[in-house]
Structure 1
Amino acid sequence: MLTVESLKKRVKNKELSPIYLIWGTELYLAENAIETITSLLSPDEKDFNLSVHNLDEISVQEVIEDAETMPFLGDRRVVVMKNAAFLTAAKEKTKIEHDYKIFEHYIQNPADYTILIIVVPYEKLDERKKIVKQLKTQAEVIQVSKLSNDTAEKWLQKEAVSLGVSIDGEATQLLLSRLGTHMAVLAKELEKMALFVGENGVISKDTVENLVARTLEDDVFGLVDHVVHKRTEQALRSFYDLMKQNQEPIQIHALITRQFRMINGVKELQKKGYGEKQIASSLKLHPYAVKLASKHAKRYDEAFLRNCLNNFADTDYKLKTGQMDKTLLLELEIVALSQGS
């Protein structure tokens, strides 16, 4: 199985396969792999000898017919077959009739002048299918899975260097906490910050804070941070700012509840001797979120946190049944949390 990096080396050395199978849900890497292969064609050749097909719109037999067509004004064709759901266990969404026998025959006897790229944007292939087994034997397979947090951190560091800048650890963690491991989004934000700090500049936590758009959850985290540090006035001001943005009180309350559940979960696992990485894995959280929740957990005892969670359930019921004004309910909750310990 190839990685995108090893694919680049092989293409550079002209070590090519007639068929490539790209599968997985990280579309940024999938597109990167496709671009690497199609770079074999000059811009002029691409006009005549590059075809991109979507199996939601065209039959597999028409794609194979294209792959068997001789190249025009060039030595090679590249044919891309996207959304090959028939290689997974997923139910096909289109009414287009596909003749998979023609496809099976082709992968056993591919045209020597065509590179066929098969893209499967799903988490799993259906290994039970004969056609999948044949493909994994006949094709070069490139898996493009979502990055883990650790891998994403390393990737960000490497991408920053390629842009002529560096990014420090806190900035990396905050960026991943805010955006997740979606590579296309990360790449776009990283490029923006690199332009801001300039060549040989350093992307810091402050750079991320100032340039990367905050989510509602980020704003609620800020509110909770004020609450934890007993900054009642600032916490209420954060709440009023959210209300001015027309955020729904029920959603704000749900996110406050989530933050305190996280704090409680971290505290319970710390008591069992878990480290931050183990806690992140157990609670399925980003390590940076665990690091922040760990600081908050030190300010509360277990009894208070359990009582908070019980009160949150009561507030949620009152919010959803209209027993009290929603704004007043959350104001009272924020004040009570700020004064607790």
Structure 2
Amino acid sequence: MSKGIPTLDEVNNFLGEDSLLPVYFLAGKDKFSLENALEQVRNAVDPLIESDFDKEIFSLDKGVDLNSILDSASSFPFGSKKKLIIVRGFENLSEKAKLLPYIISPSDFTVLVITHNAELKSATQQPFKELAAKGYLFADRKLRPSEFAEWTIKQAAKLGLKLSRDNAYMLMDFVGDEKALVEGQLQKFAGFLNGQGEITSEIIENLSSSTKEYSIFELQDALSAGNKKKSLKIILNLLDSGNDILRISAMLSKYIYTLASAIEFKKTNVSEMEAAKKLQVSPYYYKKCVQARYMFNEKRIHNAAKALLNLELAIKTSSIDPKTVATILISEMLQ
């Protein structure tokens, strides 16, 4: 993604009544950020809408013709200051360049909001190039761990809750770095704390661990103990629960990297607190890794890293079933 393109979280900076853009193109895989940005635009434009006829929502995954939508965007409002047209599912459109003529000359009385629920890998092709040039393109950006921790702390504060940086990392360790999942956990904590107080490590461990029958971290615990049967059962359960095999692989790669780093830190007498800080993980997560009885071994870590590499190659270069790959992965990691 090209530098200089504002993120979905920055949409609010472009929503002044006298400076509304004619087009907001919202792109990204993170549905939470996408929907939040869409809601912000909708809230800014709604006060200018006096007739329901001046507000339309279309979905491009249902065979709707883009030209008919653009014709509607080009027609005058029924009596409102603005028209609001929301178009979902641009990622489903095969002939995306059809949007280009409208982007070059958009209607000044219409606010056209388009969502593209997929990663936008390049802004050099049309219509994305023109959208970026006009300042109409907003794209999701993968946050670094430190940035995601900061975002989590701010979201907790909006709910009236305190959350330390270490515990923000701990929450990420438990539920991952998907904003929707983290937001769901924060809402759960807010209910538990009646909207005030501090989210402690005990609350995170007790409430987050019950989100699924099995979690990535229970898989790591089973691997740490060298329990092949339980590890296989958990990883297959994770796949059945809708978890993507590459996401599981990414989490396990982080686990193996932390183990390998922990061995090196131990050789140089780096404290657990300092090591966790260097790796941008919670002290809780780091301590769990250090306590891995079976996996805290250089040869086994090497085997595990090799097995994870083999998994990614198999997934990306063949049509092999994820469950088959997962079974091979566990067998190779714990051979």
TM-score (norm 2): 0.67
Q: Distance in 2 between matches of 1:263 and 1:160?
A: 27
Q: Per-residue deviation at 1:118?
A: 2.3
Unpaired segments of 5 or more residues in structure 2? 238-247, 308-326, 329-333
Higher Cα Rg: structure 1 or 2?
Answer: 1
Residue identity (%): 19
CA contact (8 A) 1:2 1:142 kept: yes
Q: Per-residue deviation at 1:112?
A: 1.2
- Report the secondary structure of 2:15's partner residue: helix
Q: Report the counterpart of residue 324 of structure 1 in structure 2.
A: none
CA contact (8 A) 2:33 2:140 kept: yes
Write the letter of the residue equivalent to 2:193.
V
**1:60 equivalent in alignment to 2:66:** yes
Q: Per-residue deviation at 1:2?
A: 2.8
Query: How many pairs does the alignment contain?
Result: 285
Write the letter of the residue equivalent to 2:57.
V
C-alpha distance after superposition, 1:249-302 (max 9, x if no partner): 7859xx9xx69856753345547979556657xxxxx56686235522699874
Q: Distance in 1 between matches of 2:33 and 2:302?
A: 46
Within the candidate set 35, 38, 41, 1:37 is matched to: 41
Write the letter of the residue equivalent to 2:287.
L
Q: Per-residue deviation at 1:64?
A: 0.6
**1:84 equivalent in alignment to 2:114:** no
Matches for 1:1-341 after TM superposition, within 5 Å: 1-12=5-16, 14-39=18-43, 40-42=45-47, 45=50, 47-57=52-62, 58-85=64-91, 92=94, 98=95, 100-101=97-98, 103-212=99-208, 213-215=210-212, 216=214, 217-222=216-221, 227=225, 248=233, 251=236, 261=256, 264-267=259-262, 269-270=264-265, 276=276, 291-292=286-287, 294-296=289-291, 302=297, 305=300
Q: Distance in 2 between matches of 1:155 and 1:73?
A: 40
Q: Per-residue deviation at 1:53?
A: 1.9
CA contact (8 A) 2:120 2:139 kept: no
Unpaired segments of 5 or more residues in structure 1? 93-97, 229-234, 281-285, 313-319, 322-332, 334-341
TM-score (norm 1): 0.66
Q: Distance in 1 between matches of 2:19 and 2:301?
A: 61
| C-alpha distance 86-132 of structure 1, shift in aligned 2 (>3 A) | farther
Q: Distance in 2 between matches of 1:127 and 1:10?
A: 20
- Report the secondary structure of 1:115's partner residue: strand
Write the letter of the residue equivalent to 2:90.
A
Say what the alpha-carbon RMSD is for the aligned residues.
4.3
- Report the secondary structure of 1:248's partner residue: helix
